[in-house]
């Protein structure tokens, strides 16, 4: 199970703390403690399943949304990562970590993945549908 309150690291190296706001079967939402409602920055996790039997696919949307005020009007900046795995695929956590690392090296020039990812607990929790 993911911790109710998560500490993440921003690009500048600062810690960003997201505290649990709500948790349900279809979505878990956390808010950046340095921001306030209704504007603010939110970390959302949304699991879903499509298809059935041998063709079922589990999707796990991980999303950060930040509301930015421009001339007093709120506008959203959203970054999504969706992990989709056929239910029949066993032990896909290391594959997902490899794929995320490959994507980050594409999106962030100079990104240096860790030498070895041995802690797959967060990915395993997400693949179980936990938020």
> How would you class 50 by CB atoms within 10 Å of its CB: exposed for 0-12, middle for 13-18, buried for 19 or more?
exposed
Tens digit of pLDDT for each residue in 95-131? 888 888 888 888 888 777 665 555 667 777 777 777 6
What is the Cα–Cα distance from 9 to 20, expressed in whole angstroms?
17
Work out the average pLDDT over 57-71: 91
DSSP string, 4-57: SSEEEE-TTS-EEEEEEEEE-SS-EEEEETTS-SSSSEEEEEEEEEES-GGG-E
Q: How confident is the model at residue 64 (pLDDT cuts 50, 70, 90)?
A: very high
Task: Describe the strand order of the beta sheet including 57-70 as a list of residue ranges.
Answer: 6-9, 15-23, 28-32, 41-50, 57-70, 73-86
Q: What percentage of the chain has pLDDT greater than the value 70?
A: 91
pLDDT at 129: 72
Q: Write out the CATH class of domain 6-127.
A: alpha beta
Domain range list for the chain: 6-127
Work out the average pLDDT over 37-59: 86
Structure tokens at 114: 């860790």
Work out the average pLDDT over 12-20: 90
Return the residue matching tokens 């179980």.
128
pLDDT at 1: 65
**89 versus 21: which is more confidently predicted?**
21
The secondary structure element, H or E, covering residue 70 is strand 57-70
17 has pLDDT over 60: yes
What is the Cα–Cα distance from 84 to 100, expressed in whole angstroms?
12
Q: Which residues contact 90 (CB under 8 A, 6 or more apart)?
A: none
Tens digit of pLDDT for each residue in 66-77? 998 889 888 999
């Amino acid at each position: 199970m993911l911790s109710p309150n998560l500490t993440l690291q921003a690009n500048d190296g600062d810690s960003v703390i997201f505290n649990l706001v709500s948790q349900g079967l279809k979505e878990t939402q956390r808010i950046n403690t340095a921001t306030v409602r209704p504007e603010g920055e939110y970390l959302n996790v949304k699991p879903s399943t499509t298809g059935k039997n041998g063709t079922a696919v589990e999707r796990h949307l991980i999303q950060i949304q930040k509301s930015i005020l421009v001339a007093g009007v709120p506008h959203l900046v959203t970054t999504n990562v969706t992990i989709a795995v056929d239910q029949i695929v066993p032990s896909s956590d290391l594959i997902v970590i490899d794929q995320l690392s490959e994507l980050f090296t594409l999106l962030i020039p100079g990104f240096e993945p860790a030498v070895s990812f041995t802690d797959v607990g967060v990915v395993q929790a997400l693949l179980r549908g936990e938020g």
